[in-house]
Amino acid sequence: MKFLASQIAALLAGTVEGNPNEEVWNVAKIEEGAPGMLSFLANPKYIPYIYETKSSVVIVNKDFVAEKPIAATLIRVDDSYASFAKLLAYYDQLSQDKKGVSSLAFVTPSAKCGENIYLGEFAFVGENVTIGNNVKVYPQVYIGDGSVIGDNTTLYPGVRLYRNTVVGKRCIIHSGAVIGADGFGFVPQEDGHYEKIPQVGNVMIDDDVEIGANTTIDRSTMGSTRVHKGVKLDNLVHLAHNVEVGENTAMAAQVGVSGSTHLGKNCVVGGQTGFVGHLHIADGSKFGGQCGVMGSIKEQNQEFMGTPIQPLRQYLVTNARLRHIDEMARKLDSLEKELAKLKTSL
C-alpha cells in the first residue's frame, strides 16, 4: 500500500513541509532509510541522521529546528514518537484486514459463524463451534468441537484449539499455540506402569488475552483451566491442567506453571521461571528470570528472585556476599589454623 505525505499528515493532524505528494510504502529506521520509506525522529542523538537519510518522508516534532538542508519531506506533529506508533497501528490494522471464507476452509454444518469473518485455507471448524463477529482465522487453524470464539479475536496460522475451548473477545493467539491438550494426569500402578486419568474439563480464556507462539495450555481434569482478562503470555509458556492466571498478569518466555497453581492479578513473571503445583500466588507478585517457586505466597506486591526464591532485597545481599565466598573461605581457614595453635599453646 502506498500513502502520500499529505494523507499521513491528515491522519496525524500534522503539517507537511516539502512535497505533499511524496509517496511512501514502507517504514525504516532513520539511519537505514531508503526511497519510499517513512521514518521518524524523536531521540536527539539521531538528529545527525536526518540530514543524510534516504527516507522519503520523516515525522518530526513541531519544535524541531533544522541546521542544514534536508532532502526528505517532513511531517511536523506534536509528538513524533507517539504519532509514529499510531501510524504503525493503523498500518498493521489495514494490512491484516482480511475477510471472507476460503473455498479450501472446512466448516461443519452445525457451526455458527458471525459477520465479517475471515477463514483461511485449510482452516477446520468443528461441530457446534460458535465464531463471533470480525474474527480472523488464518490458514491451517484447527477449532475443535464445541469451541467458542469471541468477537474480534485473531487466531494466527497453525493454532490448535481442542474441543470445548472458550476464547473471549479481542484475543490474539499466535502461531503454533495449542490450547486444550490433555493435562499431564497419570496414576502409577503396582506393576510400574501409568494409568491415564481422563481429562474431561476445558480451557477458558477471557477477553483481551494475548498468547504467544508455541505456548501450550492444558485442559483441566475437571472444571476449567482459566486465563483471566488482560493476561499476556509470551512464546513457549506452559500452563498445566487446572491452572488459573489472574487478570492482567504477564509471563515472559519459557515460564512453566504446574497443575492447580493459582496466580493472582497483576503478577509479573520473568522468563524460565517454574512453579510447582497447588500453589496460591498473591496479587501483584513479581518474579525475576529463572525463579524457582516452591511455596505459596500470601503477601501481595512482593518481589522475588532466585531458586528457591528469596525476597529481592535478601537475594541481592546474598548474591553480593557470594562473590566474596573464596575470600571468606580463606579467612575462615586462617582463623581455624590460629585457633588450633591457641588450643595447642594452652
Q: What is the reported pLDDT for 76?
A: 97
Instruction: Give the number of domains in the chain.
Output: 3
Pairing of the two strands 310-311 and 303-305:
antiparallel
The mean of the pLDDT values for the chain is: 95
Hey, what's the cell of 286? 513479581
What domain range includes position 337?
Answer: 316-345
The predicted-structure confidence for 148-177, as pLDDT tens digits, reads as follows 999 999 999 999 999 999 999 999 999 999
Crossing angle, helix 80-95 and helix 5-12, to 10 degrees? 110
58: left (phi over 0), alpha (psi -120 to 50) or beta: beta
Instruction: Tell me the pLDDT tens digit for each residue of 210-252.
Output: 999 999 999 999 999 999 999 999 999 999 999 999 999 999 9
CATH code for position 180? 2.160.10.10
Write down the catalytic residue from 193, 228, 241, 278. Answer: 241
pLDDT tens column, 245-303: 999 999 999 999 999 999 999 999 999 999 999 999 999 999 999 999 999 999 999 99
241 is catalytic: yes
Q: Are residues 74 and 200 in the same domain?
A: no
The pLDDT of residue 78 is 96
Query: Rounded to two decimals, what is the model's pTM?
Result: 0.83
Q: Are 78 and 227 found together in one domain?
A: no
The pLDDT assigned to 343 comes to: 85
**Structural domain ending residue among the three candidates 95, 126, 154:** 95
pLDDT of residue 147 exceeding 80, the answer is: yes
Q: Is the pLDDT of residue 95 over 90?
A: no
Is 308 found in the same domain as 164? yes
pLDDT digits (tens, 9 = 90+) for 99-120: 899 999 999 999 999 999 999 9
Residues 57 and 119 in one domain: no
Q: Is pLDDT above 90 for 130?
A: yes
Looking at 95, 130, 162, the residue that finishes a domain is 95
* Residues 53, 130 within the same domain: no
- The answer to whether 208 touches 172, Cβ cutoff 8 Å, is no
